[in-house]
Amino acid sequence: MTAQPQRRSHHTWLSALTLTVAFAAALVVPSITVPAEPAHAAIDPTGWWYPAMGIADAHAQGWTGEGVNIAVIEGQINPDAPALAGAKLTVNEEFVCGDSVGVTAETTDSARHGVGVVQLLVRPFGIDGDTGGIAPGANIQVYVTGNEEDECTFDSVGADQRSAVGRAIVAAVDAGNDIISISRGLTSPAEDYEALAYALANDVIVVSSSPNDENQVDLTFPVGANGVVSVAAVSETLDLMVRDDNSGPVVTPEITVVAPGINIGKVGDVGDWSGLSTGNGSSSSAPLVAGVLALAKQKFPTATGNQLIQALIHTTASAQNGLGRDTTNGYGYGFVSLAGILSSDPLSYPDENPLMDKSGGLPSAEDVAAVNEPTPTPEPEETASPKPTKTAAEVEESSAPEAAENGGPGVLPWLLGGGIMLAGIAVVVVSVIKFRRQPGQSEGGL
């Protein structure tokens, strides 16, 4: 979600001590080794997240997100910004709202937000041409919905009763994306939850940012939806974002993991796409977690989205130190671990999404299961078979005398010619049988 000014966190000393100990202890585990700070980080002095997450080490092993498709849903973007140079990037403007603009060279807040999110995936150190970002090898498709200042943008509902974001989710799934990263929050219609169910049913991971301030807590979509990887921002010292009134941390009880999001350096400032700036907020944290999952997807291509989420929450610093999910202080399963998930075996986990227990209850497991169920075909109603129509020849043939069995006489023919009737009058008794509806039979059909 949109960046907020950094302030000192006031979370309880117990949660701070617990998470700090867990993080520090995890750093001595071989799978969480922090590599030396890359040389190009000098261009971005606020790039603490790069070495803290062990990104250079993962890249050195060949894990860059190559071949993985990531959809990013944003308001605006400038695909020609220096920070995105060389990225495997395409932009979809199909869902731009009204007369708004999705692609712009102007350094609007919305465009800078979009560029800032995407560069964390592909190229945060773009000034000198070095490739940076957590998943520089991934294919990125950005779905823009227009300037966030336009009222109709993110909450607009289309003909299918989904918001622009909901429609973009469905399109991203249909386009074959493996992961969807959303650094936005909104209040959505029920149909948007159906869009999420569609993504989950089709094995697409959805990653969302979380509220940065208490005035955003009512923006429950997609952060509060079942199945969604919800991410909160922390600083280098594991402090959460704090409220605007500085009264304490912003706690989202059902957060999944925390990731770097405070004091994050980016390329692109007001009036200058090449200038450096610093931002705070979970809008940065969500794409970093999406990148972690992308690298894991590259290494474990046969793992399902559910299994990768399972590996994500079982390899955090907290999980490696035996800590459970923190729903009180807002740290969820703990600090995300890139090295941990790459050292795990996602295939050993069940193919079940472990995030289907959020209090909102949507989409439900039944909603997800119903997505790919075949629509039952109604059985055709039985109709009376038409009586066969006889040809003139068949009629004449049926009027001919028939030989009885054992050579006996057949039905006495009418002699049509000469007006002569046979001697011996054959009395033919014709019985008319009337079919009545018996008591208890139904009047209607099926």
Q: Output the DSSP codes for 359-382.
A: TT--S-HHHHHHHTSPPPPPPPPP
| Residue 442, pLDDT above cutoff 60 | no
Digit-coded pLDDT (tens) for 143-189 = 999 986 665 655 666 656 788 999 999 999 999 999 999 999 988 88
Average pLDDT over residues 250-277: 92
- Position 21 scores a pLDDT of 40
Bridge-based pairing of strands 264-269 and 89-92 is unpaired
**What are the structure tokens assigned to 40, written together?**
């190009």
Q: For residues 259 and 341, what is the distance between their CA atoms, to the nearest angstrom? A: 14
**Domains in the chain, please, with CATH?**
48-371 (3.40.50.200)
Q: For residues 219 and 234, what is the distance between their CA atoms, to the nearest angstrom? A: 20
State the average pLDDT for the chain. Answer: 78
Digit-coded pLDDT (tens) for 210-234 = 999 888 888 899 999 999 999 999 9
Collect all residues with Cβ–Cβ distance below 8 Å to 165 and sequence separation of at least 6: 73, 145, 154, 182, 184, 186, 188, 192, 221, 222
| Residue 366, pLDDT above cutoff 90 | yes
Q: Evaluate whether 209 touches 282 at the Cβ level (below 8 Å).
A: yes
**Distance of alpha carbon 317 from its chain centroid, rounded?**
26
| Residue 200, pLDDT above cutoff 60 | yes
Average pLDDT over residues 371-386: 64
Give 136's pLDDT tier (boundaries 50, 70, 90). Answer: very high
- Position 444 scores a pLDDT of 30
| Residue 294, pLDDT above cutoff 80 | yes
Instruction: Give one word for 366, left, alpha or beta, with left for phi > 0 and alpha for psi -120 to 50.
Output: alpha
The percent helix, strand, coil of the chain (3-state, each to 5) is 30, 15, 55
Q: Evaluate whether 234 touches 262 at the Cβ level (below 8 Å).
A: yes
- Position 151 scores a pLDDT of 56
**What are the structure tokens assigned to 376, written together?**
């039952």
Average pLDDT over residues 102-130: 84
- Position 80 scores a pLDDT of 95
| Residue 390, pLDDT above cutoff 50 | no
**Residue 308's closest CA among 59, 68, 117, 143?**
68
Average pLDDT over residues 387-396: 47
Digit-coded pLDDT (tens) for 306-339 = 999 999 999 998 998 888 899 999 999 999 999 9
Q: How many CA atoms lie within 13 A of 368 on its CB side?
A: 22
- Position 55 scores a pLDDT of 93
- Position 230 scores a pLDDT of 98
Digit-coded pLDDT (tens) for 2-57 = 443 333 333 333 344 345 444 443 333 322 233 333 444 444 545 789 999 999 99
Kindly state the percentage of the chain with pLDDT values over 90: 56
- Position 35 scores a pLDDT of 34
Average pLDDT over residues 381-396: 48
Average pLDDT over residues 367-374: 90
Asked whether the bond before 374 is cis by omega within 30 degrees of 0, the reply is no
Give 362's pLDDT tier (boundaries 50, 70, 90). Answer: very high
Which of 274-278, 415-419, 433-437 has the lowest average pLDDT? Answer: 433-437
What does the H/E/C string look like for 208-243?
ECCCCCHHHCCCCECCCCCCCEEEEEECCCCCECEC
- Position 156 scores a pLDDT of 63
